[in-house]
A and B are shown apart, each in its own frame.
Chain A
């Protein structure tokens, strides 16, 4: 066996740990370095964890993600000028998927913005971009706005799956809303957001409460799930992964994220995005499904000038799936793609989003 993929890595002493590290180890999780943290990639196995989220409920420790507070009388105007989506459309108690963009319309990070009363905002950013997003905003901070990295103060647990609310005994609420609540007496911010395509919540708590919250969630019969299942779940529903599918060098229109860009507002890089939308992108990010038994992987070439940005084996479809950039002429559902899988030409077909859709 010689791995060239996710090799079982020697964990370095410099890695950070979340408050749940001991819980993960006690459950027998395989720990891997990810975004500077030592994180669980799987407990029982990626496939069983994935299926439990699609059919019941699973919990992910996502405490490695960053939490940035943006507060002050000018915070809303500041965020409107920094983020692609329309902050003015977000009411207190609501949340919004949005992009932090650079001058070229490239994506510094994708994040979820939560609005609270009195001009207070919380941005939950990718773990790997925590410093980049904070630095970007802090350097551009305006009078009347304060940006603060509060990542180390919080625990963040995502409970996802069709039975997640029932198991947590939480009331139903519309997607992209948030409210204070409690689980077994532990105060949490309950956000109706997630990264799996399933109904569910993300629970933000005081860091020191994270182990008790984790225990309470597991005692409700929710399955612990690692980063491996988080990746297969998000890819089945075509949620982009920053660093793979979207980067500071790729723009939102080409990535199919135009819906998260309010091009009528003014924000960094908007002129470039308007121009790309006007002329049409040269390359587009498309989802595809393999037509033969092969698994596409990040970085593989697609014939005709394309590249796979994410690829895996879909546990629900039991076949290779992925996303990649292809020339606009190929970016139509039904078009056949040829992918270079370690020297072998393998056939795939462009499909509609999402790749996996639950049967009605």
Chain B
């Protein structure tokens, strides 16, 4: 069943409804509760290749529900280290746990200064309220 609406304090957020969890030079990326709720139950995750480059504000993959397809936007630039193959096999994991088991990729950041451009949870909640 779908998760409750939450925006964890430890994440950084991009306006296109993507999140980043930073650990050292690496970041884990995913889509927010708002994004998965707007899309509905996900049935397909078109993942990038490991080793490919992602650019801040650029699409790096696609997620699809029964009705709609959506680009997934990278909140940060870097190189893909790992793809969540569990989500490739079971895309609904994103609906169940968007910030945990439903992560999409792990990247090596190429420009950590980009973090300054992202929103904290309070700013993102205000952004969502305007949607």
Chain A residues within CB distance 8 Å of chain B: 1-8, 30, 41-42, 45-47, 228, 231-232, 293-295, 297, 312-313, 315, 318, 320, 342
CB distance from B84 to the nearest CB of A (A): 15
Number of A-B residue pairs with CB-CB distance less than 8 Å in the complex they form: 74
The interface centre, meaning the residue of B66, B70, B88 with most chain A CB atoms within 10 A of its CB, is: B66
- Verify A47–B41 contact, CB threshold 8 A: yes
Q: Could you jot down 29 A-B contacts, CB within 8 Å?
A: A1-B31, A1-B35, A1-B38, A1-B39, A1-B70, A2-B16, A3-B38, A3-B39, A4-B68, A4-B70, A6-B67, A8-B38, A42-B40, A46-B65, A47-B41, A47-B43, A47-B66, A228-B66, A228-B67, A231-B67, A232-B66, A293-B88, A294-B46, A295-B43, A295-B44, A295-B64, A312-B67, A313-B66, A318-B43
Residues of B within 8 A of A318 (CB): 43
Known pairs A3-B70, A5-B67, A320-B44 / 8 extra A-B pairs, C-beta < 8 Å: A1-B70, A1-B71, A1-B73, A3-B39, A5-B64, A8-B38, A41-B67, A295-B44
Q: How far is A6 from B71 in the complex, measured between Cα atoms in Å? A: 13
Q: How far is A30 from B44 in the complex, measured between Cα atoms in Å? A: 21
CB distance from A25 to the nearest CB of B (A): 17
CB distance from B64 to the nearest CB of A (A): 5
**B62 lies within 8 A of chain A by Cβ:** yes
- Out of A7, A30, A45, A342, which one reaches B41, CB within 8 Å? A45
- Out of A1, A2, A293, A312, which one reaches B66, CB within 8 Å? A312
Known: A1-B16, A3-B39, A46-B40. A297 touches B71 (CB 8 A): no
Known: A295-B43, A313-B43. A2 touches B73 (CB 8 A): yes
Which residue of B is nearest A7, CB measured?
B68
Q: How far is A160 from B43 in the complex, measured between Cα atoms in Å? A: 24
Residues of A within 8 A of B2 (CB): 45
CB distance from A33 to the nearest CB of B (A): 14
- Verify A4–B69 contact, CB threshold 8 A: yes
Count, chain B residues at interface, CB 8 A: 27
Known: A1-B17, A1-B31, A2-B59. A313 touches B69 (CB 8 A): no
Main SS class of interface, B: strand
Residues of A within 8 A of B16 (CB): 1-2
The interface centre, meaning the residue of A2, A30, A228, A232 with most chain B CB atoms within 10 A of its CB, is: A2
Q: How far is A294 from B68 in the complex, measured between Cα atoms in Å? A: 13
- Verify B43–A5 contact, CB threshold 8 A: no
CB distance from B23 to the nearest CB of A (A): 23
Q: For chain B, residues 34 to 50, give those with C-beta under 8 angstroms from any C-beta of chain A.
A: 35, 38-41, 43-44, 46
Residues of B within 8 A of A3 (CB): 38-39, 68-70
Residues of A within 8 A of B69 (CB): 3-5, 295, 297, 342
Residues of A within 8 A of B63 (CB): 1
- Verify B70–A5 contact, CB threshold 8 A: yes
Known: A2-B16, A5-B68, A41-B67. A313 touches B44 (CB 8 A): yes
